[in-house]
C-alpha cells in the first residue's frame, strides 16, 4: 500500500491545481487509503480537497457552471449525468 500511496501523492502533486472528476476521485481514494492505515489526520487535507473540487465542479448546485458540465465526446448525456450524480451522492454520503 505504501507504493500506491507514494505514486498517488506524486501524481496528485503534479496535478494539484487541476479541477476535474479524475482529480476528485483520486483524492477520495487517497483519503480511503490514509484512513485505512490510521492516518486520518493526514487524510483531512485530501478530504477538504474533495469538498473544494466538488464545489468547483458544481456537483451540489442546481445550476453548475457550464464548463463543469461539459461532457467528454465519448460519453453520452445520460451516462454523464449519472456519473455526476453518483460522484455527488457518493461524496455526500461519505462525508456525512
pLDDT tens per residue across span 17-50: 888 888 888 888 888 888 888 888 888 988 999 9
Statement: residue 69 has pLDDT above 80: no
Structural domains in the chain (count): 1
Measure the CA–CA gap between 44 and 31, rounded to whole angstroms. Answer: 8
Range of the domain at 47: 2-95
Cβ distance 92 to 54 under 8 Å? no
Give the residue carrying C-alpha cell 456519473: 83
Q: How far is CA 45 from CA 31, 38, 39, 60, 73, in A?
A: 9, 14, 11, 20, 32
Kindly report the pTM of this predicted structure: 0.80
Amino acid at each position: 500500500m505504501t507504493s500506491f500511496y507514494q505514486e498517488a501523492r506524486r501524481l496528485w502533486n503534479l496535478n494539484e491545481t487541476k479541477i476535474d472528476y479524475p482529480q476528485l476521485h483520486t483524492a477520495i481514494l487517497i483519503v480511503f487509503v490514509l484512513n485505512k492505515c490510521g492516518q486520518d489526520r493526514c487524510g483531512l487535507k485530501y478530504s477538504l480537497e474533495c469538498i473544494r473540487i466538488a464545489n468547483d465542479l458544481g456537483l451540489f448546485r442546481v445550476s453548475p457552471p457550464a464548463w463543469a458540465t461539459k461532457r467528454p465526446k465519448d460519453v453520452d448525456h445520460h451516462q454523464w449525468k449519472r456519473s455526476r450524480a453518483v460522484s455527488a451522492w457518493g461524496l455526500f454520503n461519505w462525508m456525512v
